């Protein structure tokens, strides 16, 4: 068994959904595994945009096999349209984690900022700079959504103690329900194609 925890952090959004994976060992040392942004066109239909986000997250999980998923918790802001899209993308991320039998958690922006910078009101540039320093990167991850995803992953790993998960991955109730739905209506209707 490995002595590190691999966490997929997700900064949910429809236009840009940040995804970042880190391995964190028992001494809390983080190593970059993957970072990227899933993009969808702002003028596309909402269902198509959510399908793009879902396909991107599924692809990252299939390729990198994280042990856990952490998603930034959505907070009400001035722009309710943006909040709705972010909340929808967050729901998709949590559903996909459950489909894959992965433990998932949400963390507030201030929790994440405090974890990586020591200051809950840090700005985007401060978060990017600290992520580069923590993960020993030559340059801060771009765009900010990518750095935020890595910060969410680190926050989650550090709160969990950086230890590897134990036990077998038995199917969750959501995975069983999904498998039953696939049998009933057919896989092609349920799986989003990129």
Task: For the chain, give every domain's residue range.
Answer: 4-190
- Known binding residue 48? Answer is no
**DSSP H or E segment with residue 136:** none
Q: Where are the beta strands (DSSP E) in the chain?
A: 4-11, 16-25, 30-39, 68-72, 104-107
Supply the pLDDT for residue 74.
Answer: 82
What pTM value is reported for the model?
A: 0.82
pLDDT at 181 over 70: no
Classify domain 4-190 by CATH number: 3.30.420.10
Confidence of residue 180 (pLDDT cuts 50, 70, 90): low
Confidence of residue 84 (pLDDT cuts 50, 70, 90): confident
Which residues belong to the active site? 11, 72, 145
Mean pLDDT of the chain: 85
Q: Which of helix, strand or coil describes residue 138?
A: coil
Of 11-25, 72-86, 119-133, the least confident: 72-86
Higher per-residue pLDDT: 7 or 123: 7
pLDDT at 49 over 80: yes
pLDDT at 167 over 50: no
Q: How many CB atoms lie within 10 A of CB 55?
A: 16
pLDDT at 2 over 90: no
- Known binding residue 145? Answer is yes
Q: Please tell me the distance from the alpha carbon of residue 117 to that of residue 113, in angstroms, as a whole number.
A: 6
- Known binding residue 123? Answer is no
């Amino acid at each position: 068994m490995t002595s590190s925890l691999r966490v997929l952090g997700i900064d949910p959004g429809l236009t840009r959904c940040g995804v970042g994976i880190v391995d964190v060992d028992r001494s809390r040392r983080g190593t970059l595994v993957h970072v990227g942004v899933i993009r969808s066109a702002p003028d596309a239909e909402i269902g198509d945009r959510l399908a793009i986000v879902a396909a991107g997250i599924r692809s990252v999980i299939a390729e990198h096999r994280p042990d856990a998923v952490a998603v930034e918790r959505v907070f009400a802001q001035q722009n309710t349209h943006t909040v709705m899209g972010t909340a929808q993308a967050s729901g998709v991320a949590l559903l996909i984690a459950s489909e894959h039998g992965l433990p998932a958690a949400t963390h507030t922006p201030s929790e994440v900022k405090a974890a990586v910078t020591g200051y809950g009101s840090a700005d985007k540039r401060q978060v990017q700079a600290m992520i580069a320093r923590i993960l020993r990167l030559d340059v801060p991850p771009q765009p900010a959504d990518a750095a935020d995803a890595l910060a969410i992953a680190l926050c989650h790993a550090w709160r969990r103690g950086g230890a590897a998960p134990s036990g077998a991955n038995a199917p969750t109730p959501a995975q069983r329900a999904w498998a039953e739905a696939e049998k009933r209506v057919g896989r092609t209707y349920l799986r989003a194609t990129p």
